[in-house]
Amino acid sequence: MLLNKIKYRLSLAFRELNRVRYRMLGVSVGKDVFISWGAYIDTCYPGSIEIGDQCCITNGAKLIAHDHSVYRLPQQEGAHDDGTGRIRLGKNVFVGAGSIVLRNVTIGDNAIISAGSVVGKDVPPSVVVMGNPARVIKDFSVNDAL
């Protein structure tokens, strides 16, 4: 019993340490956020990622806010894309194992990103998305009452 309490308190301390680490690297992290040690959050451009309160980012999930492949593409006249972007996670967002969230994406409050999904477009609030590319499969904002 005592050993379990010690393990639990240590896990809470490590979670806080991980949140502090990302805050120091320039990521905006809300309150009560869980970030797995196996998750990857892009810190190349400080301030490019915002994580809302009570989010959960699980093992193997990746939040990537830059993409320099644009330098390999022929540029159209008058258009300039430097390959950087922003990622915004609303409150109470769950990002499943192995998911990838790409640049210039906003994920609405209470959204669930299923394991292994690749999110390249904005996700509305209160939905479940899955697949590559990620598509809405369930919308919780619709009242299912008869």
Active site residues: 68
Q: For residue 74, is the peptide bond before it cis, meaning its omega torsion is within 30 degrees of 0? A: no
Q: Look up residue 142 and give its two tokens.
A: 């619709």
d(CA 51, CA 10): 23
Q: Look up residue 135 and give its two tokens.
A: 């598509």
Helix, strand, coil share (%) of the chain residues, nearest 5: 20, 25, 55
